[in-house]
A and B are shown apart, each in its own frame.
Chain A
Amino acid sequence: MSPRLGETCQRLEIEDAWIVDPGSTREGRGSLLVEGGRIGEVRWARRRATRATPDLLVLPGMVDIHAHLRQPGNEDAETIASGLAAAAHGGFTTVCAMANTDPPLDHAASLRDVQRLAGEAPTPVRMLAYATISEGRAGTVLARLGELSDAGAVGFSDDGAPVDDGTLLRSALAYAGALDRPVMEHPELRTLTQGAEANEGLPATILGLQGWPRSAESTAVARALGLLDEAVRAAPPGDRPRLHLAHVSTAEALDLIRIARQAGLPVTCEVTPHHLALHDGWLGGDRRWAWDAAADPWAGAAAEAAPYDPATRVNPPLRAPTDALALWSGLADGTIQAIATDHAPHRAVDKHVEYGQAATGISGLETALAVALEGVAAGLADLATVVRALTLGPAAVIDPPERATASHELVPGLVTGAVADLVVVDRRAAWTVDADSLVSRGKNTPLLGRSLPARVLLTVAQGRFAYLDPDLA
């Protein structure tokens, strides 16, 4: 008898798996029992070096703090229900929906509408939602941050676009600091990106695409850090201004964030799976992972795929292979707290157009884990670091550990008695990314047609079945 989605996971035994639990910082071989929607028992195996590591991987349910679910306004690209189903297929049990819907989530009523839709969706995957920083996401007047916070906004962001007005961003940081909510800024200096099509670098030069300078990100990051510094200094006692920087893509921006964190500024940041694994050579048809291309960028001229695949168009653009390596270092040294998908589903008609006119964004919820594990397999980070960046790291961005209320709810951990919130992955089972295998309505990923290792077999969210591999069902 196969369990139905949404049903409580009454009894489930996972024998001989590799279990990673960043909450208890334990990782190792073991077996796990789920009973009545809770972790019944975790049995860690005694060390036996002679046996190969099991292919089965058990992780806490993952948290994505950056996803565009498109509802309301663009339901042909994605709905809350389809996005959450895609999340479950990707191993995520919590998704933070971005506020750039149409209309944007700039009033408590619209926030409550999406929360209701998430509640009505058949999946047990949790959805939290950001609200906008500004009314109408227009960047001129602050949205009612207090009211939005009371209505459950997890943070504030005009993502998709930066807050160009420095005064407004500074005010948002100060005001949200009183509400103990983070401000998530999309760092882009738009006077440098007018008409920009691709990372300013060799592939763009050769392909004749207008360059998107790296300085468009680093200058915006520097500005935001300066504003945060002032907001922190000027904050009344008890207020906690916090800045989160979305989709950091360049080594230079990362260096600035590293320095700011060392100086004690309350700044966090995220990286997307595509900026970790892909690079601007993909625009020319190179299909090597960034770490393979970094050693020999010019070999990309021997392209495997046709150039100008609009699926590679994304904001910020795919950067150089060396940037990807810098981002992996940032994950390893703790400068980056979260891997966030920036899941950006689009309709085919908005993507299958001239490169520079294609909508920006990659559908990423379902490939994030496999791509991150490719990096682990290549030795760029250890498994525990990547799992932390997909679970506790992002949970702490929206809710810092010193408060740690929601963190426990979002990532209950793989400990006896905790609510079962986990994902089971077969590290050796390959699957092909294609229009049929992707649950999301957005099929826009440059990984289309590629075989990826690491197949999600099962996702349990809040003690209930969220995803079950068709072969197991």
Chain B
Amino acid sequence: MSWGPHLLDVADLTPRELGTVLDLAEEMRGVLDARGRRTSLQGRTVTTLFYEASTRTRVSFETAARRLGADVASVSATASSVTKGESLLDTVRTLEALGANLLVMRHARSGAPYLAATVFGGHVVNAGDGRHAHPSQALLDLFTLRQHLPGRSLDGRKVVIVGDILHSRVARSNIWSLTACGVDLWLCGPATLLRGFDAWARALPADRRLTVTSDLASALREADAVMALRLQQERMSAGLLPALAEYSARYGLTAARLALARPGVLVLHPGPMNEGVEIAPDVAAGPASLVTAQVANGVAVRMAVLELLAGSPAAGTPA
């Protein structure tokens, strides 16, 4: 498929399509560095519809939209009629009637943007749905890794994602995009938070490399980049994990553990971080950390996404 009309999942994108967005994001990076603007979305309305709290993703999309000349409208679940029991489909139809051309949507339920796309005549951008996908995050991770890896190449690099893989939309999206780019991807965490992923690894075609392990040391050995995921308190009450301290002791990303990786290993985190839980403060703020670069690149990548979608044929009024 080519870009558009929606961006619901990175699984749909070929390496070539991934390349298209990264190259455009590079251009956007230049625009941002020059404190410039573009006019590609002038006269269009980008509406952010967030059913889940988020600071960075929402601000990042809204900043990106403004930099492209779009009008921006924000709807959050707590401030709208959503709390009065309005259905998702009614909300989406209402927002379209109010002039939304691009709908940037965050939802706690996997698949919700697919439902929105069945009725929305413009472009739906998935800004995170449940555990399923976070396409713009995966794209900015890809962009940031490419920017910082020697030779700007991901092919054959060992990248490790550590933490709550089971509940992570970031991990799922990164599985698609990183393995598509030739990364030797490792998923690591307590066994209860890896459930099902080994079967996924075994089902992938032979040209995609994915390894699943609960052994952090083997995962980190010779790694080129490590991404820590946020660990949420709910996992303890759900009976998936013992105490937070035990998690931190066994899977927390510390300087000592990072020494197992290649010298110059890159450290990423999609945020927000629980410093002292999944990542030690000195690692989070250390020289290897790309956390702030990820945030800055997020705007450029989202500008590229919005511009590509806006330039693609809209879904139109579905039958």
A residues in contact (CB < 8 Å) with B: 197, 200-202, 204-211, 297-298, 306-308, 310, 349, 352-357
Contacts and interface: CB of A to CB of B under 8 A. Distances in A.
Contacts of B203: 202, 297-298
B114 A308 contact: yes
A204 B131 CA distance: 10
Interface residues of B, number: 27
B308 to A, nearest CB: 21
Nearest to A355: B111
Given A207-B132, A308-B115, A202 B107 contact: no
A209 B87 contact: no
Question: Looking at B117, B131, B172, which has the most chain A CB atoms within 10 Å of its CB?
Answer: B131
A208 B107 CA distance: 13
Contact of B110 (A201, A298, A349, A356): A356
A215 B115 CA distance: 30
A310 B112 CA distance: 11
B88 A353 contact: yes
A209 B169 CA distance: 11
A205 B205 CA distance: 17
A197 B199 contact: no
10 contacts: A200-B195, A207-B110, A208-B131, A210-B131, A298-B205, A307-B114, A349-B87, A354-B88, A354-B112, A355-B112
Contacts of A202: 196, 199-200, 203
A356 B111 CA distance: 9
Interface in B81-103: 87-89
Contact of B107 (A201, A205, A211, A354): A354
A357 B109 contact: yes
Nearest to A307: B114
Contacts of A207: 110-111, 132
B62 interface: no
B200 A205 contact: yes
Given A205-B196, A208-B172, A349-B87, A354 B132 contact: no
A211 B196 contact: yes
Interface string B177-205: 00000000000000000011101100101
B271 interface: no
B169 A306 contact: no
A208 B195 contact: no
Nearest to B107: A354
Interface string B70-88: 0000000000000000011
Contacts of B114: 306-308
Contacts, number: 75
Contacts of A210: 131
B197 A355 contact: no
B89 to A, nearest CB: 6
A357 B222 CA distance: 43
Interface of B: 11, 87-89, 107, 109-112, 114-115, 117-118, 129-133, 169, 172, 195-197, 199-200, 203, 205
Contacts of A357: 109
A211 B195 contact: yes
B196 A204 contact: yes
A354 B197 contact: no
A354 B196 contact: no
Nearest to A356: B109
A357 B110 CA distance: 10
A447 to B, nearest CB: 18
B149 to A, nearest CB: 27
Contacts of B112: 354-355
Nearest to A209: B110
A205 B110 contact: no
B115 A353 contact: yes
B150 to A, nearest CB: 32
A436 to B, nearest CB: 16
A341 to B, nearest CB: 26
A306 B114 CA distance: 8
Contact of A352 (B89, B107, B169): B89
Contacts of A211: 195-196
Contact of B87 (A201, A205, A298, A352): A352
B210 to A, nearest CB: 12
Contact of A354 (B109, B169, B195, B200): B109
A355 B113 CA distance: 11
Given A211-B196, A308-B114, 19 more contacts: A200-B195, A202-B196, A205-B199, A206-B172, A207-B132, A208-B132, A208-B133, A209-B131, A209-B132, A211-B195, A306-B117, A308-B115, A352-B89, A353-B87, A353-B88, A353-B115, A354-B111, A354-B112, A356-B109
B130 A208 contact: yes
Question: Looking at A202, A209, A211, A355, which has the most chain B CB atoms within 10 Å of its CB?
Answer: A355
